[in-house]
Amino acid sequence: MSCEHLERAGAAEPVTTSQCPGCVAAGSTEPRRLRACLTCGHVGCCDSSPYRHATRHFEATGHPVMRSVQPGESWRWCYVDEELG
């Protein structure tokens, strides 16, 4: 792995939720694929969702790595280096 962000990523536990809090606040309760920030645990929806809350969180905070919180998935993504780990 060549991405230092993935190598140093934290292990923040995601907020326990089955829906994207940002989508719920926007009035959308459709199921979304969820991602969690490994720096602070913020949960947001993926980029195939209309609001892209996980990416918006990165853009607002600079927290570089998130992970899937979907059952059976364990991958992580670095926004800075655009690398999967």
Here the CATH number for the domain that contains residue 18 is 3.30.40.10
Q: How far apart are CA 84 and CA 31, in angstroms?
A: 24
47-72 pLDDT tens trace = 999 999 999 999 999 999 999 998 88
Q: 14 falls in which pLDDT band (50, 70, 90)?
A: confident
In this prediction, residues 8-36 reach a mean pLDDT of 88
How many domains does the structure of the chain reveal? 1
Is residue 63 within 8 Å of residue 37, measured between CB atoms? yes
Q: What domain range includes position 39?
A: 4-84
Amino acid identity for residue 73 in this structure: E
pLDDT band at 21 (very low <50, low <70, confident <90, very high): very high
